[in-house]
Structure 1
């Protein structure tokens, strides 16, 4: 049997850490190992980790950020496969068994799966991510600049040898966070990607609700576009230096573009909304019309919703922005 490590990188998440570790230990795949990397927590995380004794392998390091924690973990791995579980997320008991069925049947660099969206208390919201399934050859699309649909960090299982073609990643300065970006997209340049077509874990959204345009936990809406541009530039250098692959200077991704779209249109005056759409929406519209992962129906629906953001009645236009940005807003409407 091939062994798999579940790595839990933690920083000051004592409130959620027990649920994450318990879900890792509850896997029905016998060859599962659990490694906890505590990145210099100042809360009660260390005591929680130590309470598990020999059931988990624990590493306590000085705070260096998420990239530092990933670099450290990948250097320690002695299994062929790994799942990086965020310390506020959970895996369902069959997660490792399901991904290993695919790894055993093909030379995949990564196997990904959906995550059910939870609120901060762990209650399911009815939403799941991602909403689209990518093709196996995501690397070809990446070489054309397209970021493929992927779940957040916890929804990805990697072949360790593929990760080591990308990592270690520079961790200095502003590049302390976003390690999952390099894992998710960098690994796709090393080989094909497989998808388990069902949810195998829970993704905790701390600001869960349909009354906000924000959906991601780690970064503010206005900061995310700048961070992604920086990470793409670093990934380009890594791809060229380590794989001999030249990526284009800019990337295409609807999630990235909608963050820019929403930050400019939400609560904006009518003139400002129209001005942005007339003069700055080219990339946003391109990632809808030319999107290689979407059906025609989804493209048309998103274009119609985008047009509603320009109506003079601000409650309707702001609702349309929230509906585009936040999957939980859609579930709320569906449940009415």
Structure 2
């Protein structure tokens, strides 16, 4: 009787666009998982930097898909047409997984038929792969995430590579419409959309690495050029500006496909702290005082009313923010960096 080959439980999908210098490390980390219960798919989004040759060099060890350049949303849509496993993990081509990531995720899903997503922390590394000692996100609580999303609260989530999904749930959100204004940010729809369909499992320790290789643009008020965010594809302020538009798309998907009514605008501390940093960083004392007096209401609301934070964290962030009123701009800027960018906390 022929030996039956078990079907893998998890597909690791690596979405790549012109990340040839990091791509092999991402693929190698996916192939080096401690369990064989995994298949690896690489979707190249029309790269022009030699990525195709790298992907083809892996032969049959990966399922290679080459699509015309269409953006991350199109890549997620395409992947979910092809995935044939119960679970999927989307790994950005500049990030990496620890060897036990897949086994840990599969065990979490297998332990409960209720999870629609498993999320975990990521170790932050530099562009050359050196550890920074920082992990993201700082807060990873996800209990009640679907219920709070219905009230507009975006729950604490890792970047895209820190999430794995139940495919049948994700396919109720995807495909997501692709147009000129909606080609990036596919992970937003996956991270928050799927939580409307069930419970999210949060694993406290890191199962992968998030690479920081693009310095965020300094604000116009800053002459120092110090980074205010970790983001690679978009800086934090750009993400904050896009958040409302992506929420609008998700709101339409939730209404039309799930019969779930979401509020018109989201509540998200990450977006509010980006706006706060833009207004306060490098600003004069008078300008900082004006922000506190007239423009800080929504920022402080996402602290005080945050349903995912402990009282201790609320008090700590509130207190740190108030230190930005210290007259010396150099001290205020240091505090803003500490609040806005986790790398500023390294070694603290």
Instruction: Report the TM-score, using the length of structure 2 for normalisation.
Output: 0.93
**Aligned counterpart in structure 2 of residue 71 of structure 1, from 72, 77, 94:** 77
For structure 2, the 5+ residue unaligned runs are 1-5, 217-224
Contact 1:92 1:200 in 2 (8 A): yes
2:126 to 102, 119, 126: 119
Aligned equivalent of 1:274: 289
- Pick the aligned partner of 2:274 from 246, 259, 264: 259
What is residue 325 of structure 1 aligned with on the other side? 340
Q: SS where residue 16 of structure 1 aligns?
A: helix
* Structure 1 position 268, deviation (Å): 1.5
Look up the match of 1:297: 312
Task: Show the counterpart of 1:311.
Answer: 326
CA distance in structure 1 between the aligned counterparts of 2:271 and 2:182, rounded to whole angstroms: 18
Residues 138 and 221 (structure 1), Cα distance of their counterparts in 2 relative to 1, 3 Å cut: closer
Cα deviation for residue 96 of structure 1 reads: 0.7
Measure the CA separation in 2 of the matches of 1:196 and 1:301.
24
> 2:303, 2:314 within 8 Å by CA — same for their partners in 1?
yes
In structure 1, the residue matched to 2:16 is 10
Corresponding residue pairs, total: 333
Name the SS for the 2:336 alignment partner: helix
1:61 maps to what in 2? 67
Within the candidate set 169, 172, 186, 2:193 is matched to 186
Deviations 1:87-124 (A, max 9, x none): 00000111010011111111210011110001111111
Runs of 5+ unmatched residues, structure 1: none
**Distance across 2 between alignment mates of 1:152 and 1:175:** 18
In the alignment, the residues of structure 1 paired with residue 344 and residue 62 of structure 2 have an alpha-carbon distance, to the nearest angstrom, of 38
Cα distance between partner residues in 2 of 1:220 and 1:194: 27
Partner of 1:38: 44
Matched, 1:80 2:86: yes
Structure 1 runs, 4 residues or longer, greater than 6 Å off: none
Kindly indicate whether the alpha-carbon contact (under 8 Å) linking 2:152 and 2:266 is maintained by their aligned counterparts in 1: yes
Task: Map residues 85-164 of structure 1 onto 2, 5 A cutoff.
Answer: 85-107=91-113, 108-164=115-171
C-alpha deviation, 1:5, in angstroms: 0.4
Distance 2:313 2:163 in 1: 25
Name the CA distance, whole Å, in 2 between partners of 1:24 and 1:213: 30
**For the Cα contact (< 8 Å) 2:29–2:97, is it kept in 1?**
yes
Matched, 1:166 2:173: yes
With structure 1 as the length reference, what TM-score do the two structures score? 0.96
